Amino acid sequence: IMTDMPNVLPWARALETDRAVYIQRQYLTASLYDRISTRPFLANIERKWVAFQLCRAVADLHTRHIYHGDIKTENIMVTSWNWVYLCDFASFKPTYLPEDNPSDFSYFFDTAGRRTCYLAPERFYSPDSSVDRLKVSNSSMDIFSLGCVIAELFRDGSPTLTLSQLLRYRKGKYDPMADVGKIDDPGVARMVGHMLQLDPSKRHSASQYLQSQRGHVFPEYFYTFLHPYMASLDLPSPSGAPVDTGSSVVDQRISKLYHDAEQIDDELKEAFDDIGVSDEDDGTVDGLGLEVRGDASSQCPAASPSCSGYLIYLALLCSCTRHCDTSEAKLRLLDLFLRISPHISDEAKLDRLLPYVMTLRSDGHALVRSRAIHVIALVLESVQNLSPINTGVFTDYILPGLRRCIADSEPLVRAAYAGIIATLAETAVRYIDLAQSIKRDSGTSLPIEEENLLQLQQGDRQAAMDRLLAQLHDHLNSLLVDGDATVRRALLSNGSLTRLCVVFGRAKANDFLLSHVITYLNDRDWLLRSAFLEAMVGLATFVGSRSLEEYLLPLLVQALTDSEEAVVARVLSTIAALAGLRLFQRPTLRDLATTVAPLLCHPNAWVRASTLQCILQCSRQFPVADLWCFLHPAVRPCLRCDVPSLERSLILKALKPPLPRAMFDVAVAWAGRSRSFLEGMSLAKGIGAGGLLHSSSGVEIRERTGGLRDLGRGNSRQDDEFLEKLRHLRMGPEDEEKMWAMREYLSKLARTRQGEGSSSVASIPSVVQLKNVNATPKTVFLHPVTDFLPDHSADIEDAMSMLGSTMGGGGTGNSMAASILDIRSMAMGESGKRVSLDVSKPSHDVSSHSIPENPSSMPSHMTLLDKQEDQKSGESQTDGATRARSSTMDGEGMRISRSTPLSFHRASRASPSPSPSSPSPLIITSSSSSSTSTMDGLSNHGYTTIPHPSPASSSFSVTTPSSSTALPSPSAVGGVWKPRGILLAQLTEHTGSIITMAISPDQTFLASGGADGAVRIWDVARLLRGTSHRARTAFDQFSDGGVIRCMTFLEGRHAIAAASSTGQIRVFRSTTTGNGDLPQYGRCQVVREHQLDTPAQAVAMHHYVEEEVGAGGGGGGGGGRSILLVATTEDVILALSLHREPSGDLKELWRLQSIPHHGTLTTMLLDPRRHWLLTGTAHGVLTLWDLRFKVRVRSWLHPRRRRITTLALYGHGIPRGRLVLVGTEGAPHEATVWDLETGVCREVYTTEVGEQEEGQATLHGDIYQVRAQGGFIL
């Protein structure tokens, strides 16, 4: 009957023998008597929590008429999370005892010999009394014992009554209320006094005390939240079953606490508003006659952390620390410790929370150890007030306890400690200052024992600082020379180096810290070198301008020629930050600016952006004379034209394209292998532009100033080889100027790479022979393509915008890591090898993009490419294939050149080559050969394509070339055709906007449908001749108010299927008479009609004739079925048979259901071979369907996530028709080319910005996009 009482632990079983009866219960370690005298001592809120649970336990027992009979502190068990169990029921003990014979009391109720008495006075009888000794105890007796226990609890373990005092109190010779009045909480004192009344009839029941003290002694949240929630946790069973303290129980408890953390916070924070609320009157009497005063001294301040229910919550969390098993549970526990840390007192953080977190620093999981180190630092940093006993916590407890982290086997743990050691050092210094403040302000107010303790722990401040610095020195000695670069990088993160310098002082920092960290620039880990350069900004502000120029500046200059370009970019950003802080003298600043200025031609966009930022910072500190005499001449070789002032926008506009990556690498290799590199460069500068190179025919260029012949004769064979490589890379005079400006940098960079290369070769354990791994070498000829010219200024704009937050006076560790990784991704490919970063001249005209293969990760801006062929008159054109490089962009906007599976082939020409100003057309073919794929089953060897029309042709002809036949060149039919924007006719008969248009298969007439609900037929021949701009006929047999949504011509017939917004589909035809060029058109006649289910509307339609597959496959007649495909707004694709049905409606053959959350269908594209169907939706989802098996093959999302407006086949001569053109709604107006095989975007065509300048290249292809209304013209 007591199994559902959460605070009661009854007897579990009884064993009867011949001599005795043994009773058993669950074992618990500590009683309330033990807990009162155990550190950390119970806070006031915890005492109230224990008293509340005791009252609840007694109330539950008395409700069921069960009486304990021996309530005392030894019979109250307390768990490590302060959960109370009332146990050891004394039903077998006598109720009444003789007052003149204490032996019965000692035998039954004082086995510990304390002489403390908790029994009610009425339980003792005199020799002459006639009491019934067999009568059982009652509720008032238990209430008296409960009052004695609560009084002892709030008096720090002092007994309330001894046996002699109780007997005297029974006779009225002793009053215990004097001792009860010493309880600090007046409300508790009044409640205990009421429980200890001599008259049993005046004592209330436990339920009445709980009700009367609700919101006064016991906070409201005890009743509404805390007690029910704690009871719901998996606590020891009150039935006496064994307590499962295994990992599964504790881990489940931690998981529940973790997921309920927000609810617990809300309840405990809301409880603060109720603490301290009292009645308006100064003194009132509750319904039980117990006086409740409104004085604030009886209440705990709401803002006091010692009154916070979080202390009770903290005890529960601390109890879980020793028994949790999994690392996940321990990490969650550490997160919960951090969550409650702001809500508990500073003393509780140091005395209660910190020791349990310190135990986790020796956990078996490295992740738990590292997280525990971070929590220790954060908790210590949040402490603002110290007690005298905790003033030496760092030197006596924290730092000695963390000593083992230095020798930890896991770099993760050592890196975690290195990352927070600066925080610990600053916090320790603050603790020393707090201790001195306590000593200074206390005077003689502290007790003598605390004063002695404070003197012993701290002594003089300087002595305390010496002890602290000695321990920090010992720890840093190991961390600074740690073998793992990650640990040393962590030591430099978040400004830790500068903060440590402040703690140690300038003298010790120079002798100890700087002597170690400056060696990091020679480390092989480029991330460590970059981290040191970032930390140098704060370090320079500490050491001052003089030490910066004497000791740190040479390191910066040396790092400018680092082999890792990310480090070079970081050096430049560091110089810019130091220049912005005005830490350089003007002559030093002038030398730095002239040194870094040639890096504006560097092929790495991040290096160029950092260089520009550095130059701009320097220019702000130069007077006008120095600006134009020193800085401007250094920058001028990198500019295409002069600038009126050195401003960011002007420099970006005038900046020359960077030196191509291929030329840069050849120049570095040349400088590393030839000692005459610098001499040759200087001599070439004296010769003039173009002095380094020979002509394309191999004949030496005539010397312009008389020095080239000497240079040619002085060249070694190795120099000639490098000159030949530069010739093949089409190096021009402008590139030569850039190379000359960077000659010193190239030479030093070559020496740096040589030094690193020699050391790295020695570390290679062995060389893998290809023959040993059955690898056959294969020669691949790579033809460099240097005329793909992206916009270099856009690169610098993007890089500078990203570097803006990290170039200032020191950044955070996170920004450092992010920017370093971004720079690294710019310079390294996916395999880790260095790849080309081509940034050349601006692009113009219609441009194509290459989008990353993962559509969802497409960047917000794309590389613009253009292709310009340099043709020479008289030079014959031959068929050839060159591999084209498409420029893709990583997540941060850097362009990385890669090969794509597309190759550009020049078409064979049937006529003499055009003039040099006419670039040859490019035809795209697939480079894949015999690989089987999904599209192999969806298409055959060829499909219908449309060739380039000639200006002379008035209509388009349809051909079906074989897979090996090349298309005719546009030059063979009169030159390259391009739209000239000549107005032929205006179609003005529609009374509303024109929504859709279609042209007949033989291209003799076209149809237009509009918002007026009419379809009008126009004669193409008359429109071209200009003889008549009237519609030849019209069809308006739709319901009133309907809008023509879409229409299509029937294959092989002069018939049109049109759909209205009312859901009507009408198939009609127009008869023509006359065989001349200008036929006559008759009235339109309806041949089929169909009504879609309301509210469906058709959005796109296609017609085709299905090939007959067997006897049962036709729909009648000798041919295949005539099928009309209709895409509706209800996400359904219907296949309607055009064969006449008795009902008059079109028969539904089958349907395809689109996924609703993909969006409403907007358009579709049918395979010319009728094997597949592609649909687009309003949400930008493309779906490929297999029409043979009526299944969905794949779906993918367009990166723009916009409405798909148009779909079309793309390219000429594609063997399997796997490329389609997709148009989307809204700006930027662009068309994307997608590979149906992989769902990958291959190219992007976008509109030209501004007017086309003379001499710009024009990209010829199938699609031309104009800006007018954002439409697409095929």
The catalytic site residues sit at 70
**Crossing angle for the helix pair 813-827 and 565-580, nearest 10 degrees?**
140
> Residue 313: which residues within 8 A CB-CB, separation 6 or more?
264, 268, 340
CA distances from 343 to 261, 268, 314, 379, 695 (A): 13, 10, 10, 12, 80
End-to-end, the C-alpha distance of the chain in Å comes to: 87
Element (H, E) at 209: helix 206-212
Q: What is the 3-state secondary structure (H, E, C) of 741-782?
A: HCHHHHHHHHHHHHHHHHHHHHCCCCCCCHHHHCCCCCCCCC
3-class secondary-structure state, position 567: helix
Listing DSSP states for 53-114 in one string gives HHHHHHHHHHHTT---S---GGGEEE-TT--EEE----TTS-S-EETT-HHHHHHHH-TT--
Q: Output the CA torsion sign for 330, 333, 339, 341.
A: negative
Q: Assess contact for 537 and 501: CB atoms under 8 A.
A: no
Among 498, 425, 404, smallest CA distance to 468 is for 425
What pairs with residue 633 in β-bridges?
none
Torsion angle, alpha carbons of 377, 378, 384, 386, to 10 = -40
**103 burial via Cβ count (<10 Å: 0-12, 13-18, 19+):** exposed
> Residue 1203: which residues within 8 A CB-CB, separation 6 or more?
1162, 1177, 1178, 1179, 1180, 1224, 1225, 1226
Q: Output the CA torsion sign for 1179, 1182, 1186, 1187.
A: positive
How far, in Å, CA of 1115 to CA of 1104, rounded?
Answer: 14
How far, in Å, CA of 645 to CA of 59, rounded?
Answer: 88
Q: Assess contact for 323 and 245: CB atoms under 8 A.
A: yes
Buried b (16+ CB within 10 A) or exposed e, 242-256: eeeeeeebbbebbee
How far, in Å, CA of 1272 to CA of 1268, rounded?
Answer: 9
Among 805, 843, 854, 696, smallest CA distance to 1198 is for 854
How far, in Å, CA of 192 to CA of 1221, rounded?
Answer: 87
Element (H, E) at 829: none
Per DSSP, 512 falls in state I
Q: What is the CA radius of gyration of the chain?
A: 45
How far, in Å, CA of 1160 to CA of 122, rounded?
Answer: 86
Q: Output the CA torsion sign for 161, 163, 169, 174.
A: negative
Element (H, E) at 30: strand 30-31
CA 951 to chain centre: 54
Query: Given its phi and psi angles, is residue 1263 left (phi above 0), alpha (psi -120 to 50 degrees) or beta?
Result: beta
Buried b (16+ CB within 10 A) or exposed e, 918-946: bbbbbbbbbeeeeeeeebeebbeebbebe
Buried b (16+ CB within 10 A) or exposed e, 806-823: bbeebbebeebbbbbebb
Among 1237, 1193, 1200, smallest CA distance to 1222 is for 1200
How far, in Å, CA of 945 to CA of 966, rounded?
Answer: 12
Q: Assess contact for 496 and 472: CB atoms under 8 A.
A: no
Q: Maximum Cα–Cα distance for the chain, whole Å?
A: 146
